Amino acid sequence: MELIKVTEQHEPQVALIELNRPKELNALNPQLMQEMRDALMDLDKNENVRVIVITGNEKAFAAGADIKQMSDKSAIDMLLLDQFSTWDQIRKTKKPIIAAVSGFALGGGCELAMTCDMIIASETAKFGQPEIKIGVIPGAGGTQRLTKAVGKAKAMELILTGRFISAEEAHFYGLVNKVVPIEMYLKEAFQMAKEIAQMSPIAVQLGKEAINRSFETQLDEGLAFERKNFYMTFASEDQKEGMKAFIEKRAPVFKGK
């Protein structure tokens, strides 16, 4: 891996992926996104990993897709490049992913953070979809995910003006889970990751899958999907252990079986 750095056990059962193009403010080129996809697929299969944290650096989570690599491309070049199929594969990651965001999360950077399951932001974080300022629109899910996260009015404002919002405003609109001082954003992300890592990984995976299904379906179908996944948890040893431990007034030990 050249453009990202992967630490499999940053904390017990918690992996860290760091974007590593600091000079370009972690601009997302196809190579970086392919490395990200490969890392996530490996970590998804790794039995010793239960939660993944993705971060950039203090100045930038990521300042968007790489404008320099796109500027001369034709529509057909972009079609054939098909860069967003990599994003589709990233979206299929089964384990929970927490974005730890400091500094710029713009364009594709904001879209990458929104592709994660939760966002912990430093007070310095700035979110935005500034593509309109360079004559394009978001292409990695921004028009859909931002709208679902913050509602139509705010999404229109951000996508049509290209304006950035502060971490505090992003929190107010429900885009991020928590805003903390800059020295705390990674710690806070790991704290949340460790908390989730203690749960049954089977229940965590089924819960994530059912939440994501709510974006794809009507309520009836979503409820049926949730019910199926709920019943499925009863096929796990973790369900037996979790409920037994509750009754015996002790902490459960989840094995992911």
* Residue (65 or 197) nearer to ligand CAA, CB: 65
* Residue (43 or 106) nearer to ligand CAA, CB: 106
According to the binding rule CB under 6 A, does residue 114 interact with ligand CAA? no
Q: Residue 218 corresponds to which tokens in the numbers above?
A: 């009507």
According to the binding rule CB under 6 A, does residue 142 interact with ligand CAA? yes
Active-site pick, 39, 65, 170, 189? 65
Mind spelling out the 3-state secondary structure of 67-109?
HHHHCCCCHHHHHHHCCHHHHHHHHCCCCCEEEEECCEEECHH
The distance of closest approach from Cβ of residue 82 to ligand CAA in the complex, given in angstroms and rounded to an integer, is 13
Length of the chain: 257
* Residue (133 or 244) nearer to ligand CAA, CB: 133
Mind spelling out the 3-state secondary structure of 16-54?
EEEECCHHHCCCECHHHHHHHHHHHHHHHHCCCCCEEEE
Footprint of ligand CAA on residues 122-141 (CB under 6 A)?
130-131, 134, 138-140
d(CA 168, CA 176): 9
Contacts for 228 with CB less than 8 Å, ≥ 6 apart: none
Please indicate whether residue 188 is annotated as part of the active site. Answer: no
Please indicate whether residue 131 is annotated as part of the active site. Answer: yes
Give the position of tokens 């009754």.
247
The dihedral formed by the CA atoms of 36, 42, 45 and 46, expressed in degrees to the nearest 10: -110
d(CA 75, CA 138): 15
The distance of closest approach from Cβ of residue 24 to ligand CAA in the complex, given in angstroms and rounded to an integer, is 5
Please indicate whether residue 108 is annotated as part of the active site. Answer: yes
The distance of closest approach from Cβ of residue 90 to ligand CAA in the complex, given in angstroms and rounded to an integer, is 13
According to the binding rule CB under 6 A, does residue 67 interact with ligand CAA? yes
x/- track of binding to ligand CAA for residues 20-39 (CB under 6 A)? ----xx-x------------
- The footprint of ligand CAA (CB under 6 A) covers 24-25, 27, 63-68, 104, 106-108, 111, 130-131, 134, 138-140, 142
Catalytic site residues? 65, 108, 111, 131
